[in-house]
C-alpha cells in the first residue's frame, strides 16, 4: 500500500515538473500555426499539455520546449525527427467526422451534380481534410448508386498520417454505421463476423474507387491534379483569416471550371477573396470558362 502511494506521489511530482510553461506553449502554438495553419487559443493550453505530455515524458525531456525545438528545426535526413514531427502534428490535430454528416450536401451531389456528370468524362472528387475517411466513403456510396457506369474516383487527404492510415483500411466500429441510410448500408457495408465482430467494412467495389494520402492543405497541392468537386467541410473554423485565404487559394486552383466546392453549413467565405459563385448556403461553383469567339 505504501509502495502504491509513493509511486502515485512520484507520478504526480513528475507531472507537476512537466507543467507546460507559457513560453513553451507559445512556441508550440506558433509552430503548429506555421505548419498547419491551426490557431490554438490560450484556452487550449491544457489540451496541448494533455496530448503531448505523455510523449514528452516517454522520451525523457524535462520541458515541452526541449521536446518541440528539435522538431521545429528538423535537419535534412534526420528520419527520427521527421517521424516525431508527424507524431506531434497527429496529436495536435482534431479529427471529428461521421458518415453522411450534413446530408444535404450528398443530396445535392446526387440530385444536382450527378445529372450534370452523365457522359463518358472521368470525374474526380477531393475530400480535403478527410480525417478517418467517412466523408470520402459517403460520397463514394452515393456515386456508386447514382453514377455506377461512369469512370470516377475520390482522393482523401489529411495532415494527420494516423487517420489517413485508418481511412485506407475502410474498417469501422458498428456504432459508426448508425447514420448510414439503409439502402447504402445493405449495398456497400459488410458486417464483420468472428474476430471482426462489432466492426463493418466498406465493400471492395466502393473502396477501390477511393485513395488516401497525407497532405497539408495550407501548402500547394498541384500534384493532386484537378477536381470536379472539392469538399472542405468543417475545417475552416480552425483557421484565422490569413490561413483560410491560403487554404482557399490552394483548393480553388485545383477546382475545374464549372466544378463545385462544399464547405460546412456553419462556415462562411465572408471576407475572403475568391472567384466562386455561391449556389446556395455552403455550396459554391467555379465559373465555367468562357468560349472564344
Quick one: pLDDT at residue 18?
76
Residues 23 and 61 in one domain: yes
Quick one: pLDDT at residue 1?
41
Is the Cβ–Cβ distance between 144 and 209 less than 8 Å?
Answer: yes
Quick one: pLDDT at residue 13?
52
Quick one: pLDDT at residue 37?
83
Overall average pLDDT of the 44-60 stretch: 91
Task: Point out the domain boundary residue: 62, 92, 122.
Answer: 92
Residues 124 and 84 in one domain: no
Residues 227 and 156 in one domain: yes
Task: Point out the domain boundary residue: 44, 61, 92.
Answer: 92
Task: Give the containing element (helix H, strand E) for 123.
Answer: strand 123-128
Quick one: pLDDT at residue 86?
87
Model's pTM, two decimal places?
Answer: 0.83
- pLDDT classification of 97: cutoffs 50, 70, 90: confident
pLDDT in tens, 123-164: 999 999 999 999 999 999 999 999 877 789 999 999 999 999
Number of structural domains (the chain) is: 2
Quick one: pLDDT at residue 16?
53
Residues 257 and 212 in one domain: yes
Quick one: pLDDT at residue 17?
58
Name the residue range of residue 207's domain: 104-171+203-285
Which strands make up the sheet holding 189-191, listed edge to edge? 171-173, 199-202, 189-191
Mean pLDDT of the chain, nearest integer:
89
Residue 287 has pLDDT above 80, yes or no: yes
Is the Cβ–Cβ distance between 135 and 233 less than 8 Å?
Answer: yes
pLDDT in tens, 167-186: 999 999 999 999 999 999 99
Pairing of strands 123-128, 227-232: parallel
Overall average pLDDT of the 230-259 stretch: 94
- pLDDT classification of 289: cutoffs 50, 70, 90: confident
Residues 131 and 272 in one domain: yes
Residues 25 and 155 in one domain: no
Residue 81 has pLDDT above 70, yes or no: yes
Residues 242 and 165 in one domain: yes
Q: Vertex 196, ends 190 and 198: CA angle to 5°?
A: 80
Angle at which helices 64-72 and 45-58 cross, to 10°: 80
pLDDT in tens, 224-244: 999 999 999 999 988 999 999
Task: Give the CA diameter of the chain.
Answer: 89
Amino acid at each position: 500500500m505504501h509502495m502504491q502511494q509513493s509511486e502515485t506521489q512520484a507520478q504526480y511530482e513528475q507531472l507537476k515538473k512537466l507543467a507546460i510553461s507559457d513560453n513553451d506553449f507559445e512556441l508550440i502554438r506558433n509552430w503548429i500555426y506555421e505548419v498547419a495553419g491551426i490557431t490554438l487559443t490560450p484556452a487550449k493550453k491544457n489540451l496541448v499539455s494533455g496530448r503531448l505530455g505523455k510523449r514528452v515524458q516517454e522520451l525523457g525531456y524535462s520541458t515541452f520546449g526541449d521536446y518541440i525545438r528539435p522538431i521545429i528545426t528538423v535537419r535534412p535526413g534526420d528520419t527520427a525527427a521527421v517521424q516525431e514531427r508527424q507524431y506531434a502534428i497527429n496529436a495536435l490535430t482534431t479529427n471529428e467526422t461521421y458518415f453522411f454528416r450534413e446530408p444535404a450536401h450528398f443530396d445535392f451531389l446526387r440530385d444536382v451534380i450527378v445529372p450534370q456528370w452523365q457522359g463518358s468524362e472521368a470525374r474526380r472528387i477531393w475530400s480535403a481534410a478527410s480525417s478517418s475517411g467517412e466523408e470520402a466513403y459517403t460520397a463514394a456510396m452515393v456515386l456508386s448508386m447514382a453514377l455506377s457506369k461512369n469512370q470516377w474516383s475520390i482522393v482523401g487527404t489529411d495532415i494527420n498520417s494516423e487517420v489517413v492510415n485508418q481511412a485506407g483500411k475502410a474498417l469501422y466500429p458498428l456504432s459508426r454505421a448508425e447514420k448510414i441510410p439503409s439502402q447504402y448500408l445493405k449495398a456497400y457495408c459488410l458486417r464483420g463476423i468472428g474476430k471482426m465482430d462489432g466492426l463493418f467494412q466498406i465493400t471492395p467495389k466502393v473502396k477501390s474507387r477511393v485513395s488516401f494520402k497525407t497532405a497539408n492543405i495550407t501548402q500547394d497541392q498541384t500534384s493532386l491534379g484537378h477536381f470536379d468537386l472539392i469538399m472542405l467541410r468543417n475545417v475552416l473554423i480552425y483557421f484565422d483569416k490569413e490561413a483560410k485565404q491560403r487554404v482557399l487559394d490552394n483548393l480553388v486552383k485545383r477546382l475545374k471550371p464549372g466544378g463545385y466546392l462544399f464547405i460546412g453549413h456553419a462556415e462562411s467565405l465572408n471576407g475572403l477573396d475568391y472567384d466562386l459563385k455561391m449556389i446556395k448556403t455552403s455550396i459554391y461553383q467555379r465559373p465555367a470558362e468562357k468560349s472564344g469567339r
